[in-house]
Structure 1
Amino acid sequence: MLSYRMHLEAAGIIGGLNIYAEKTRAFGERDLAEGLLLVTHAAQALAASHLRGGAHNLERALASNRDIGTAIGVLMAPHKLGREQAFDLLRIASQNTNRKLNEVARDVIDTGTIDVTPGHRS
């Protein structure tokens, strides 16, 4: 058996590559080098995939944050609310309707209104 550790500490991933053979002493120097090459490429592919996933999550969070900020602004002006009060309304509506905060925010942006009635879904 050949066993290689994948060095992905920065991504918080522990990984390894194991190669098995049916007979003893099946692997030579060339096999060791090829295994090292394989595990290096695999580690790079996993790290790239992890980074792409992180970037995608950050993009979604940024878009959601923009929607929430816009909805806060929509609520502040006509109702003479402060930022924290407008956010609290969004949070309460989210909890009362069992919907994600960014969903409630998008509804506020689209309609200009908010419903904090428990159990109500727009």
Structure 2
Amino acid sequence: MTTNEALIVSLRTAARELAARPCLRDLRDALSRVVEAAVDTVPGADAGGISLAEHGEVHSRHPTTPAVTALDQLQADLREGPCITAIEEPPRDGLVLADDLDGADAARWPRFAPRAVESGYRSMLSTSIPMTRTSRAALNLYAADPHVFGPDDQLVAGLFGAQAAVLLYSGENVDQLNHAVASRDVIGQAKGILMERFTVDDDEAFHMLARSSQDTNMKLVEVSRWLQGEARKSRAERHAERHG
């Protein structure tokens, strides 16, 4: 099977898995499979992982080996390395190549390069994964030998990076949806408390919450959580009085 054929098979398999995995946990599992498929498909790649940057902090995700976790985190700590360049200063094609970290590329990342070589990796390919204004990522492939990532390999890595972007974006949307649903439930319960306590209707209860939010400069959901907490405290006190 040629590299292109293997790529098509891998992408089709991952796409089928994605379609059959609607929850966030399954999306994360599928993302791990994409990383594994990229390592298996790109000739010369020995390990891989994803560096995820959110709100200024970079973390290692879905590594195929513990060494990848350590090297991804090292780049985050040093703020230096191919994955950091791919995240913070991505080139136009989104690909950052380190052909030989024990050669010419050592000068580009002087603190990271020797540590990578000590860990057994001479070359690295990072693919930028744009997400939102506050979060970015990079798919990282590591190789023990230098000069292993040719133009075809870079194309394949870029395609896997695009698929990882779809999964990360889907996971982010699921997170936001879950948060929105949870917030809606909290606000709904708070409205119920006000409707019972003050004998008001749904719209009037929401207006009371909104006015409190504006007056206190608190988010609507924060006011609702405070109100729930006060209601629980009041119930507990009444229970204690009856059974004290």
TM-score, normalised on structure 2?
0.34
Shift in alpha-carbon separation, 1:94–1:34, aligned structure 2, 3 A:
same
* Distance in structure 2 (CA, Å) of the matches to 1:84 and 1:16: 51
* Distance in structure 1 (CA, Å) of the matches to 2:183 and 2:199: 24
- Root-mean-square deviation over aligned CA pairs: 2.2
The answer to whether the 8 A contact 2:95-2:158 is kept is no
Shift, 1:90, TM fit: 0.2
| Aligned position for 1:102 | 221
- Deviation readout 1:12-67 (Å, 9 max, x if unpaired): xxx8434689xxxxxxxx93322221111111112211111111111111111100
Unaligned runs of 5+ in 2: 1-91, 100-148, 232-244
* Distance in structure 1 (CA, Å) of the matches to 2:220 and 2:150: 54
- Deviation readout 1:78-97 (Å, 9 max, x if unpaired): 21101000000000000000
| Aligned position for 2:15 | none
Q: How many residues align?
A: 91
Q: Structure 1 or 2: larger strand share? A: 2
Percent pairwise identity: 29
| Aligned position for 2:172 | 53
Unaligned runs of 5+ in 1: 1-14, 22-29, 113-122
| Aligned position for 2:157 | 38
SS at 1:99 equivalent: coil
Shift, 1:108, TM fit: 1.1
* Distance in structure 1 (CA, Å) of the matches to 2:188 and 2:214: 18
* Distance in structure 2 (CA, Å) of the matches to 1:103 and 1:78: 19
